[in-house]
Amino acid sequence: MENIDEIKLEQLKQIQQLLDGEKIEEFREQFLDMHPYDQAQFFMEIDAANRMLLYSYLSPEEVAEMMEHIEIEEIQPFFAEMDPRFASMIFAEMSTDDAVDILNEMDKDKVVSFLTIMDDEDADEIKDLLHYEEKTAGSIMTTEFISVYKTQSVKATMVQLKEEGPDAETIYYLYVVDQDKRLVGVLSLRDLIIAEDDTKIEAIMSENIFSVSVAEDQEEVAKIMKDYDFLAVPVVDFQHHLLGIITVDDILDVIEEEASEDYSKLAGITDGDKPDTNPIVAAKKRLPWLVILLFLGLLTASLIGQFEATLSQVTILSIFIPLIAGMAGNTGTQALAVAVRGLATGEYGNEGKLKLVIREAGTGLITGTVCGVIITAVIFLWKDNFYLGMLVGLSIMLTLIVATLAGSLIPILMHRLKIDPAVASGPFITTINDIISVLIYFGLATTFMNLLL
């Protein structure tokens, strides 16, 4: 059987030839037969001249469907090269929440320009969502959903479903409201289909409905949808009026975005540091952390200077500083990663956090003891000095215990203080553990100096 990737490659070559040959009908037939994701991949590989041809061959609705499969950070240059009227028509055809996500990344002047060209009804829908604070439920919800009144009949609802269904984000669930547009229930498509035509919606709806506030953080919404396996969740205001819904495809984007942001913070950089970012801008984003770490590094150097007398008497101690500091940084970063992941996914309640700390203390004790015994034996065989081996081995053991505890406790403390635990970044934990390891190592060396001479 021919490899799927080879089939796709051959298909893309054929489509490229049709585009180059300006064979419009054949191109449209083959291109639109592809999945929108594959269309998007092809689109991003072609040059500007070919993209201009593609815009002229496809309708705004067809381009919009393809554009929804391109990452937000990669999409802006494509809208910049389009005719503004064509671009505004694409925004009008896109899901409102997707259009808002893209417009939120653009300059305000461009956004105003697109909204001015757009039809008033489409522009108003987008404006409503643009007002919500970024990374909240309101900013990622869609207003393209179907709501029904609890007093209407199944027959009337079926007619409404056929009329509004093509433009709705999802029709698997219908949301039930009262006369004041307050959310009072939910109705599955299955229950609607099997009900009698004259049955009232309030008789078959479920009143056990979970909703989120329009101001809820998007990460919290993602956690709720993951925990309850929701395909969609309704969004309400403080008076419980139904404003929109958030679907699972939007939450997948949120999960990816939050994971990328947490990874960036763990590396001591901002999530806005993209591959195509200007070097000056990238440097400005990274400098704050680096300056903080620079001063912490000076503190480490200053601490080593306090033990200058110890080093001058037993100079061999200096060769093991990188070993102990490196081990502290490594084990601290491991514990940090486990803690941040657990806090981000909501795995730990108060009892879970205590169990985490106890487990990490045990892990630090075991790993520290094993590493300490190994390094004691190695140094004894290498330097023929049992007391030096014991000093380094004991330092490694204590350092790994303390560093592991620090790696788990610091993010938990930050979480309690309502600070994103991911800001307890790898470089930060590593530098803190450098300080701890130096204090332990030279403190023990000074205490047992007479055994080393």
What is the model's pTM? 0.61
CATH of the domain at 174: 3.10.580.10
Query: Which range among 215-229, 318-332, 337-351 shows the weakest confidence by mean pLDDT?
Result: 337-351
Verify that 95 and 154 share a domain, yes or no: no
Q: Which of 4, 3, 28 is nearest to 15 (CA)?
A: 28
CATH of the domain at 136: 1.25.60.10
pLDDT of residue 352: 73
Average pLDDT over residues 308-321: 79
Pairing of strands 242-247, 183-188: unpaired
The pLDDT of residue 277 is above 60: no
pLDDT of residue 261: 65
Q: Which of 416, 370, 419, 420 is nearest to 396 (CA)?
A: 370
Average pLDDT over residues 171-180: 92
Q: Which of 250, 291, 252, 284 is nearest to 270 (CA)?
A: 284
User: 373-409: per-residue pLDDT in tens?
Assistant: 999 999 999 888 888 889 999 999 999 999 898 888 8
Distance CA 60, CA 82 (A): 11
pLDDT of residue 153: 95
Our CA dihedral for 186, 192, 196, 197, rounded to 10 degrees, sits at 90
The pLDDT of residue 5 is above 90: no
Distance CA 296, CA 179 (A): 61
User: 26-56: per-residue pLDDT in tens?
Assistant: 999 999 999 999 999 899 989 999 999 999 9
Question: How many domains, in total, are found in the chain?
Answer: 3
The pLDDT of residue 235 is above 80: yes
2: amino acid identity, one letter: E
pLDDT of residue 64: 93
CB 209 within 8 A of CB 157: no
Average pLDDT over residues 418-439: 73
Verify that 200 and 303 share a domain, yes or no: no
Verify that 346 and 391 share a domain, yes or no: yes
pLDDT bin (cut points 50, 70, 90) of residue 2 is very low
Domain that includes residue 183, residue range? 147-247
Q: Where are the alpha helices (DSSP H) in 212-320?
A: 218-228, 248-266, 279-306, 308-313
Q: Which of 221, 67, 226 is nearest to 138 (CA)?
A: 221
pLDDT of residue 397: 93
pLDDT of residue 1: 38
Q: Which of 328, 355, 331, 329 is nearest to 412 (CA)?
A: 355
CB 285 within 8 A of CB 269: yes
The pLDDT of residue 361 is above 70: yes
pLDDT bin (cut points 50, 70, 90) of residue 422 is low
Which of 107, 140, 173 represents a domain boundary (last residue)? 140
CB 143 within 8 A of CB 120: no
Q: Does residue 151 lie in a domain region? A: yes
The pLDDT of residue 282 is above 70: no
Q: Does residue 326 lie in a domain region? A: yes
Verify that 206 and 351 share a domain, yes or no: no
pLDDT of residue 213: 94
The pLDDT of residue 312 is above 90: no
What percent of the chain has a predicted confidence (pLDDT) above 70?
88
User: 190-199: per-residue pLDDT in tens?
Assistant: 999 999 999 9
CATH of the domain at 353: 1.10.357.20
Tell me which of 419 and 407 has the higher pLDDT: 407
pLDDT bin (cut points 50, 70, 90) of residue 289 is low
pLDDT of residue 276: 52
Verify that 133 and 211 share a domain, yes or no: no
User: 97-133: per-residue pLDDT in tens?
Assistant: 888 888 988 888 888 888 899 988 888 888 888 888 8
Verify that 123 and 10 share a domain, yes or no: yes
156: amino acid identity, one letter: A
Compute the mean pLDDT over every residue in the chain, rounded to the nearest whole number. Answer: 84
pLDDT bin (cut points 50, 70, 90) of residue 270 is low
Verify that 196 and 285 share a domain, yes or no: no
Query: Which range among 29-33, 103-107, 282-286, 305-309 shows the weakest confidence by mean pLDDT?
Result: 282-286
Q: Which long-range contacts (CB under 8 A, 24 or more apart) does 315-322 make?
A: 316/383, 316/388, 317/441, 317/442, 317/445, 317/452, 320/379, 320/392, 320/395, 320/441, 321/438, 321/441
Tell me which of 349 and 225 has the higher pLDDT: 225
Distance CA 391, CA 442 (A): 10
Q: Does residue 252 lie in a domain region? A: no
Q: Does residue 272 lie in a domain region? A: no
Which of 226, 247, 268 represents a domain boundary (last residue)? 247
pLDDT of residue 182: 94
Verify that 412 and 350 share a domain, yes or no: yes
The pLDDT of residue 268 is above 60: no
Q: Does residue 261 lie in a domain region? A: no
pLDDT of residue 177: 95
374: amino acid identity, one letter: I
Verify that 104 and 215 share a domain, yes or no: no
Which of 247, 262, 296 represents a domain boundary (last residue)? 247
Residue with tokens 């014991």: 390
pLDDT bin (cut points 50, 70, 90) of residue 220 is confident
pLDDT bin (cut points 50, 70, 90) of residue 271 is low
